[in-house]
Chains A and B, each alone.
Chain A
Amino acid sequence: SYVLTQPPSVSVAPGKTARITCGGDNIGSKSVHWFQQKPGQAPVVVIYYDSDRPSGIPARFSGSNSGGTATLTITRVDAGDEADYFCQVWDNGYDHVVFGGGTKLTVL
């Protein structure tokens, strides 16, 4: 079945830019959604359909999907961005949803 690969952790200093990658076979042909989950809270979608930002999500969050990798970019990172981030796709070959393993973002 389809596999999405994320780095287990990313660390970034406040005010800098964090990039979280999500790799998968021919991922550019799929729509990628990104979720932020803070401890004790439900996940929240921060980017859907590769690069669209839901209402209420700051413009500091952006997404791209090309070259075999999808990337979530967070600019001007602050302590409130510390969370687990998951990518997700619909694998239409097998008719199921797949999540990446998740990336823990730490703000130094």
Chain B
Amino acid sequence: QVQLQESGPGLVKPSETLSLTCTVSGGSISSYYWSWIRRPPGKGLEWIGHVYNSGSTNYAPSLKSRVTISLDSSKNQFSLRLSSVTAADTAVYYCARDLSMDVWGQGTTVTVSS
């Protein structure tokens, strides 16, 4: 069955760019929407944005100026870049498949601190 796995640095300095990759195994990335979601400590789930198999993207309005999500079909991966991070971006970051989010990665903790 399809599995997702997030990867990337667990610690990012303030003002720098957070970069994460989600690797899709057991299925092709060439269909569906592919999302990034996060959960800050003590708060609820927050949708960051998604990329469709065509490469088109949609982003959360509150993050749109800082977010880029891209797709690499040759590697069956999609990626998140979040620029100018602050402590408020500290969270567990998840990747998920499709609008119904029927498959999730296990999540990766990212801490923003100097």
Contact = CB atoms under 8 A, between A and B. Distances in A.
A101 B44 contact: yes
Nearest to A86: B45
Interface stretch (B10-18, B20-28, B58-66, B76-84): B58-66
Nearest to A54: B102
Interface centre among A31, A37, A84, A98 (most CB of B within 10 A): A37
A33 B101 contact: yes
A28 interface: no
Determine the main DSSP class of A at the interface with B. strand
A98 B101 CA distance: 12
A76 to B, nearest CB: 25
A42 interface: yes
Contacts of B106: 42
Nearest to A84: B44
A61 interface: no
16 contacts: A1-B61, A31-B99, A33-B99, A35-B101, A37-B39, A37-B45, A43-B96, A45-B102, A86-B44, A90-B99, A96-B59, A97-B47, A97-B50, A99-B46, A102-B44, A102-B45
B100 interface: yes
Nearest to A101: B44
A98 B48 CA distance: 10
Contacts of B100: 31, 33, 45, 48-49
A45 B98 CA distance: 12
A99 B101 CA distance: 12
Contacts of A98: 47
